[in-house]
């Protein structure tokens, strides 16, 4: 079985793929200096609740955008599961060209999203990932990765609004009942929610204009369902895109990794 690890800026997601289905997935807050032993104590116990033991794992793949966390995640795989993890990087066999100025600087999560999306959906396409940052990643009609857009994530925007404006409270994100808020909190929620809907629609429209083609838009990430309900610019919702992309990448590169 494959242990897939998606280490983002906010959370690290662990999941086990048995070759046909996900057997379990578990999430923990990203702490860059968390040790391999700390991961193991938490993860092995959760795996046991789902009927899995470390000996079930015969391969591992890591997509990590937090460099300081990578060392201990690799040690976890090596010391506790007895496997050398495949770490996503631009020089692996992706099955497509990475046509950016510096392929090495493209986030691992963005590339695995593009890999999974181009297998499932017609090109050209754009993947919107609602994470710590809101990213748009574009695959052209030939199936090559050509770059994208990075905007502040929704929660970052909420934190900035609260910290910079002393009179404004900290709020949670939600779809407001009306665009025009009749008190402070609904007005803030409307600004954030409909502001991001406008960002989604505007950037998607500009991507299509730049490519001079209709583009398939796929949303992933925790807040993707909330925003898909507010716009027709998103065509597909795919919450497992990153993990599924890791599986596809591992399958393409497993012999080289071994």
Q: What is the pLDDT of residues 141-150, one digit of tens each?
A: 999 999 999 9
Cβ-based burial of 187 (10 A; exposed 0-12, middle 13-18, buried ≥19): middle
pLDDT in tens, 188-212: 888 889 999 999 999 999 999 999 9
In this prediction, residue 142 carries a pLDDT of: 96
In this prediction, residue 167 carries a pLDDT of: 66
In this prediction, residue 257 carries a pLDDT of: 44
In this prediction, residue 254 carries a pLDDT of: 77
**Which residues is 64 bridged to in the sheet?**
7
109 is catalytic: yes
- Class of 103-244 per CATH? alpha beta
Which one from 6, 18, 50, 109 is the annotated catalytic residue?
A: 109
Cα 32–154–69 angle (5° rounding)?
A: 10
Q: Does domain 2-87 have CATH number 3.30.420.40?
A: yes
Rounded Cα distance between 197 and 81, Å, is: 43
How would you write the pLDDT of the chain (258 residues) with one tens digit per residue? 999 999 998 899 999 999 999 999 999 999 999 999 999 999 999 999 999 999 999 999 999 999 999 999 999 999 999 999 999 999 999 999 999 999 999 988 999 999 999 999 999 999 999 988 899 999 999 999 999 999 988 877 777 776 777 667 777 787 888 899 888 888 888 888 999 999 999 999 999 999 999 999 999 988 899 899 889 999 999 999 999 999 999 999 976 444
Every domain range in the chain assigned CATH 3.30.420.40: 2-87, 103-244
In this prediction, residue 256 carries a pLDDT of: 46
In this prediction, residue 255 carries a pLDDT of: 60
């Amino acid at each position: 079985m494959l242990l897939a690890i998606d280490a983002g800026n906010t959370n690290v997601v662990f999941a086990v793929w048995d070759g046909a289905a996900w057997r379990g997935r578990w999430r923990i807050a990203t702490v860059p200096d968390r040790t391999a032993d700390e991961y193991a104590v938490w993860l092995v116990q959760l795996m046991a609740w789902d009927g899995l033991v470390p000996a079930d794992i015969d391969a591992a793949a890591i997509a990590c955008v937090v460099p300081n966390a990578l060392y201990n995640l690799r040690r976890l795989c090596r010391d506790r599961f007895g496997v050398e993890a495949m770490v996503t990087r631009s020089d692996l066999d992706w099955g497509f060209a990475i046509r950016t100025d510096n392929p090495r600087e493209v986030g691992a999560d963005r590339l695995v999203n593009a890999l999974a999306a181009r297998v499932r959906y017609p090109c050209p396409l754009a993947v919107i990932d609602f994470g710590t940052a809101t990213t748009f990643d574009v695959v052209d009609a030939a199936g090559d990765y050509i770059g994208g857009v990075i905007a502040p994530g929704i929660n970052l925007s909420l934190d900035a609004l609260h910290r910079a404006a002393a009179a404004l409270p900290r709020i949670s994100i939600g779809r407001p009942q009306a665009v025009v808020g009749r008190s402070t909190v609904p007005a803030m929620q409307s600004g954030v929610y409909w502001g991001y809907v406008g960002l989604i629609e505007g950037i998607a429209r500009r991507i299509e204009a730049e490519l001079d083609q209709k583009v398939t838009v796929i949303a992933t990430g925790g807040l993707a369902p909330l925003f898909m309900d507010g716009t027709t610019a998103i065509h597909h919702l795919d919450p497992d895109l990153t993990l599924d992309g890791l599986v596809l990448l591992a399958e393409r590169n497993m012999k080289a990794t071994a």
